[in-house]
Amino acid sequence: MLDCKLADTPIVHNHHLGEYPDQVPTNKERYQRLVGRLIYLSYTRPDIAYAVSVVSQFMHSPSEDHMNAVLQILRYLKSAPGKGLMFSKHGHLNIDGYSDADWAGNVIDRKSTSGYFTFVGGNLVTWRSKKQRHD
């Protein structure tokens, strides 16, 4: 794939990937190997997490369409080198968590905003921000 056409997105919009009776099978071992590596990579590249979760659903019976979706992810990765999360060694494996909330703080719609962050060894590993309405 050294001379492949680059992709702007990791997965085609409205991809319609699924299992269909007329699908053409592909090399299962190669597919599983590629998707396994992409799963591992998605820990530091959250921009591919959705696309990888889609293609990982077809590990048991991949088709050419599924392999094309994997190749789309690889073309996207080639177009965006150097992006992703960096995990650094800080000499410890402390687990730190932080959370905050603003309960019904929005004066217009009375929505609350809450969120949390979790760090392991000084590196961000999980986060979530959520806005919800309380009636």
What are the tens digits of pLDDT across the range 13-42? 888 899 999 999 999 999 999 999 999 999
pTM as predicted: 0.69
d(CA 129, CA 135): 20
Cβ neighbourhood burial of 69 (10 Å; 0-12, 13-18, 19+)? buried
pLDDT in tens, 51-110: 999 999 999 999 999 999 999 999 999 998 888 878 889 999 999 999 988 776 666 677
Q: What is the pLDDT of residues 47-63, one digit of tens each?
A: 999 999 999 999 999 99
| Radius of gyration for the alpha carbons in the chain, expressed in angstroms and rounded | 20
Would you state the torsion angle of the CA atoms of residues 80, 50, 118, 132, taken in this order, to the nearest 10 degrees? 120
